[in-house]
Amino acid sequence: MTMDVTQLQRRLRDHEATLFQQGYLDDDQFSQLQKLQDDSSPDFVIEVVTMFFDDSENLLKSMARAMEMVPVDFKQLDAHVHQYKGSSASIGAIRVKNVCATFKDFCDAKNLDGCVRCLQQLQHEYSQVKTHLQYLFRLQQEIKAAGGSMHAH
Amino acid sequence: MGLKKAGSEGGSSSEWRISALVVDDNATIRFLHKTILKGLCNMEPKIAKDGKEAVDMCRSGENFDIILMDKQMPIMNGVEATRKLREMGVKSKIVGVTILDNESEKEEFLAAGLDLYLEKPLNPTMLRDVLKELQLI
């Protein structure tokens, strides 16, 4: 039992390190979120990340809708991208944030092809970070269920 | 103002209660900033989804020690909301919060009446420093 917990904890640490090294998550910002989790808010990180997932899905749909309009509503599209840039930065999802920065430039230039490519990239980056975060949370839950702590040394 | 000291003289910052308002059109950010401030202010912050809601809350008599004001919001943006609040005589510390802007947009926001301007993402360390700089703790 103890070995299982130790293995899970190692897997968790390795997975976190990979997320930071591969640039999916900003180490500093995500660590600051984790520090906000305590006895009074034991599920804070999952809650805020789940909100980000809901946000993401709504904003990505809204962006697609704005680009389907004739003529394209670049101002509305820019507003959605701006919002997504802020929320992704707030949870430390830097790859998503960086695509938003490029996307904004294409909105400013009213470059539809560029916007289409950026939306595809955003959908890809969001899907990746979501998968990685869901795996992270699954590991944390398995550790908890096995009686371990997420912060073992 | 909403600043109250819950303990005796010379107590720690955890004895201070600071009333705060988080103004942002994004639910994730509202939740995050509210959680950070709750820990620092020892009071549950209030929220507004756009500048108009914030202005209406202050107009109805609500007082806040600190207002975290997003810039780009629908209905009424942060620049306009800040300007209106200052015209109304609101004395709250207003901290503008936005994702990286160009210099002229930053200056426009500051000129509307901000006490401070911060770039997202925010975190507890930054906000603690802000509360100290504004002499709220």
Domains of chain A: 3-145 (1.20.120.160)
All residues at 6 or more sequence positions from B40 whose CB lies less than 8 Å from its CB, including other chains: B18, B124, B127, B128, B131, B137
A51: contact with B, CB 8 A cutoff: yes
Nearest C-alpha of chain B: how many angstroms from A120?
A: 22
Within an 8 Å CB–CB cutoff, is residue A54 touching chain B? yes
Q: What is the pLDDT of residue A39?
A: 85
CB-nearest partner of B27 from A28, A41, A55: A55
Binary contact (B120, A55; C-beta < 8 A): no
Q: Chain A contact for B122, CB < 8 A?
A: yes
Interface residue of A58, A87, A97, A107 to substitute, partner B, most B CBs within 10 Å: A87
- Could you tell me the pTM of the whole model? 0.88
Of A32, A37, A49, the C-alpha closest to A132 is: A49
Contact B123 A29 (CB under 8 A): yes
- How far apart are alpha carbons A40 and A36 in whole angstroms? 10
Residues A31-88 pLDDT 10s: 999 999 988 888 999 999 999 999 999 999 999 999 999 999 999 999 999 999 999 9
| A83–chain B nearest CA distance, Å | 7
Q: Digits of tens for pLDDT over chain B (137 positions)?
A: 455 444 434 444 457 899 999 999 999 999 999 999 999 999 999 999 999 999 999 999 999 999 999 999 999 999 999 999 999 999 999 999 988 767 888 999 999 999 999 999 999 999 999 999 999 98
**How many CA within 13 A on the CB side of residue A32?**
21
For residue B110, what are its two tokens? 């500051």
Confirm or reject contact between B25 and chain A (CB < 8 A).
yes
